[in-house]
Chains A and B, each alone.
Chain A
C-alpha cells in the first residue's frame, strides 16, 4: 500500500487538530482507508439521526431510580415528517397533550426534565449520568417528573412544562450530529415555560458528552443557570452564564 499512496510528511501536525489533515493521496484522490473512515463516521451520524430512541429501556431505568416518568410524542408522526416539519416537532400530539394534562401534579413542580431524541437518539445515553451528577445539586430532583419525548424539537419542552405547571423546564435533547460527534447532548432551560416562546427566552448548554463538556461541568453550569433564572425571574438573553468552572480547565482537544 505505502508505495502506491503518497504520504504527507507533515503528519506530525495532526496532534494540533482533529481536522482530517495529512491524509495522503492516491494520485490526487483520497486513499482507500480514508474514504472508508469518512463513510463510517457518516454512517454513525446517519444512524444517530434515524435510529428510534429506545423509550422502553429509558423508561425502565428512570422508573427504577424512583422518578415519576411520562412518555409523550410530538405532532410529527414519523422521522421523515419530523425532518420536513420542524413546526410539528414543537407541539405535542393530541394524545400526549391529554395524557400530560391528566397527570399534572397537584403541587406545581419546581422543575421538570425532558429526555428527548431531537436529531440524535444516541445522545440520550448521557441523560442518566447527567441526572446522577445533578442529584447533589438539585434537592427536589428526586420528586421531579421526567418526561421522555420522541420526534421532539427544543420548543416542545415549553408545552410540556406548561401542562405540568412546572416553574422551570430543562430539555435534554440530541444535537445535530457531526462526523466526529454523533451523540452530543444539548440542554435548554426555560423559566416559566409556555407555548410560543422563542430561543431568546432560553439558555443553552451544548456539546455534553465525555469528549466535550463533561457531566460534572454540565451539571454545575445548569444548576447555576437554574438558580440564576429563579433569582432573575426569567431565563434567556438577560441571564448570562457566569458560572465559571467547577473544575480546573482541561484540554478540550487532546487527540493526535
Chain B
C-alpha cells in the first residue's frame, strides 16, 4: 500500500510501509549507507506526518519483511495476542503516542498490552517521539526478572560486570572481578567476552566465577559469551552454566549469519532451565542486539535499522530472557555516526524493548572512530537512568582492553546511584553490606587490607 503527504505544492509519496518507516526515522548514517533514509528533512517530516495517520491495525496486514521468507515475521504474526491488542486497536500511530503519554496509562496497563504489540508498531510510534517521550514512557514500564538476583525493581538499577582480558588470563580476569565487586558492581551478572571459543578455556572461566561465587556466597549469576552451540556443549559436559548468551537480530538471514535459528535458541533455553541453578527465579537467557547488524550481514530487506532492531526484540521475548543488552555504539560510525545518533538510538532501543516487555539494559559505548567521547556517554547514562534502565555495563575505568572500545565504568554506576538515588538488586545489596563493602545507605566504605574478606582472593593470586 502507498502512503502520501502533501506539503504546500509538493506531494510526498511512499511506496510501502517499510519505506514510510525508513523515511520517518531520525537521521543516522546506517540508513544512509543502506540507501533507505529520507533525502531531505522535509521528506522526513512528511513521512512522519503520514505515519501518524496509519491505523495500528494496518501493521497486522502489511509485513515489512515477507511472511513467506522470514521466520522472525512468522514469529511476530503467529504470536500476536489480539485480545491484548484490543485496547488500542482503534488507534492510529499518532493517537497511540498520545495514549502512551496519557496519565491513565500506567505500568499495569503497559505490561498487559505488551503481547498485543508488534515490533513494527512500537518502532513506528518511537519515530514520532522526542527523546523526552522515549524517556517518560519507558519510565512507566516495569519489567522484573530473576535468577539469583532480582533485576528491574522500581528505584533500582543493576550492573553487568565485564572483566575481559585479551588472553583470558585467570588472574587478570579475577583482578577485574575483584575491583568490580569492591566497587559494588555485578548484580546483573558477571559476563566475560572470551578471547577464544575453545570449550576448555570457556570451562575454566565458568569455574573461576562459580568457585568465587560459592566461596564468598555471592548472590550473582555468570555468563561466558560464546556461541549458543558452545554453551549447549558446555551444559552437556556438566560445566556450571548460569545464563546462555547469544547475539540476535531481526531477520532470518541475519540470524543465519550468526549461525543460529529459533529452534536452536529454544533448545539452549530448555537446557539451561533444566539445570535449575537460579535461586529466586529461572530467567536464563542473555541476549545482545544492536542497530545496524542486519545491514552488516546483508539481511536488511530495505528496512531501516531501528525497525529491524525492534524486530530482534520479538525474538528475545519468546524466551523470557533475564537480560537484554543493546550494545548501542559498538558497531561503528557507518551505522551511528556521532554522539547524537548514539544517544538517540540508545533511548529508542530501551523504549522499544521495554514496551515489548523486555528487561532492557544498554552497553552505553563508542569506538574511537566514532564522533563521540565520554561526555556523550555521561549524557546517555544519565538519560537512561532517568528512563529506568534495568542495567548498565561496569568495566574497569570504562576501557575494555580486550574488545578495544569504551563503555561505562564502576565509577559511572556509582555516579548514577548518587544523582538518581538508584539502589542495587536487593539480594546483592544485602550481600555487599554483610561483606562490609557498603554501609546501610549503599555507600562504599573505605577498605582495609586486614579486614576485607574478598582481599583474600587477591592474596591467593
| Interface of A toward B, CB cutoff 8 Å | 6, 8-10, 12-14, 16-23, 25, 27-30, 34, 38-39, 41-42, 45-46, 48-49, 83-87, 119, 176-182, 252-253
What separation, in Å, do the CA atoms of A10 and B395 have in the docked complex?
A: 17
Task: Judge if B219 is at the interface, Cβ distance under 8 Å.
Answer: no
Q: Inside 8 A of A182's CB, which chain B residues have their CB?
A: 368
What separation, in Å, do the CA atoms of A22 and B449 have in the docked complex?
A: 13
Q: Inside 8 A of B367's CB, which chain A residues have their CB?
A: 176
Task: Judge if B430 is at the interface, Cβ distance under 8 Å.
Answer: no
Residue contact B333 to A19, C-beta cutoff 8 Å: no
What separation, in Å, do the CA atoms of A25 and B404 have in the docked complex?
A: 24
Task: Judge if B444 is at the interface, Cβ distance under 8 Å.
Answer: yes
Residue contact B401 to A84, C-beta cutoff 8 Å: no
Task: Judge if B178 is at the interface, Cβ distance under 8 Å.
Answer: yes
Residue contact B405 to A178, C-beta cutoff 8 Å: yes
Q: Inside 8 A of B278's CB, which chain A residues have their CB?
A: none
Given contacts A17-B176, A19-B175, A38-B398, is CB(A119)–CB(B369) below 8 Å? Answer: yes
Residue contact B404 to A177, C-beta cutoff 8 Å: yes
| Min CB–CB distance B176 → chain A (angstroms) | 5
Residue contact B169 to A17, C-beta cutoff 8 Å: yes
Q: Which among A8, A10, A46 has the highest number of chain B CB atoms within 10 Å? A: A10
Which of B159-167, B234-242, B243-251 is the contact stretch? Answer: B159-167
What separation, in Å, do the CA atoms of A208 and B171 have in the docked complex?
A: 25
What separation, in Å, do the CA atoms of A38 and B378 have in the docked complex?
A: 14
| Shortest Cβ-Cβ A-B pairs, 9 listed | A20-B397, A178-B404, A28-B414, A17-B172, A21-B179, A45-B368, A13-B175, A16-B171, A19-B396
Given contacts A28-B418, A84-B334, is CB(A10)–CB(B368) below 8 Å? Answer: no
A-B contact count (CB 8 A): 143
What separation, in Å, do the CA atoms of A6 and B447 have in the docked complex?
A: 9
Residue contact B169 to A38, C-beta cutoff 8 Å: no
Q: Mark B345-377, 1 if CB is under 8 A from A, else 0.
A: 000000000000000000000011100011000
| Min CB–CB distance B169 → chain A (angstroms) | 7
Given contacts A38-B374, A83-B334, A84-B333, is CB(A10)–CB(B33) below 8 Å? Answer: no
Size class of the contact patch on chain B = 35 or more
Residue contact B337 to A6, C-beta cutoff 8 Å: no
* Pick from A12, A20, A49, A119: contact of B399, CB under 8 Å: A20
Q: Inside 8 A of B369's CB, which chain A residues have their CB?
A: 49, 83, 119, 176-177
Instruction: Identify 7 residue pairs between A and B in the complex whose beta-carbon atoms are under 8 Å apart, listed by A's number.
Output: A8-B182, A10-B178, A17-B401, A21-B178, A30-B411, A84-B337, A179-B368
Q: Inside 8 A of B91's CB, which chain A residues have their CB?
A: none
Given contacts A21-B176, A253-B167, is CB(A8)–CB(B447) below 8 Å? Answer: yes
Task: Judge if B32 is at the interface, Cβ distance under 8 Å.
Answer: yes
Task: Judge if B85 is at the interface, Cβ distance under 8 Å.
Answer: no
Q: Inside 8 A of A14's CB, which chain B residues have their CB?
A: 175
Residue contact B176 to A49, C-beta cutoff 8 Å: no
Residue contact B446 to A6, C-beta cutoff 8 Å: yes
| Min CB–CB distance A151 → chain B (angstroms) | 13
- Apart from A16-B175, A17-B169, A84-B32: 13 A-B pairs, beta carbons within 8 A: A6-B446, A17-B165, A17-B171, A19-B397, A20-B398, A21-B176, A25-B411, A25-B414, A28-B414, A29-B411, A84-B334, A176-B332, A253-B172
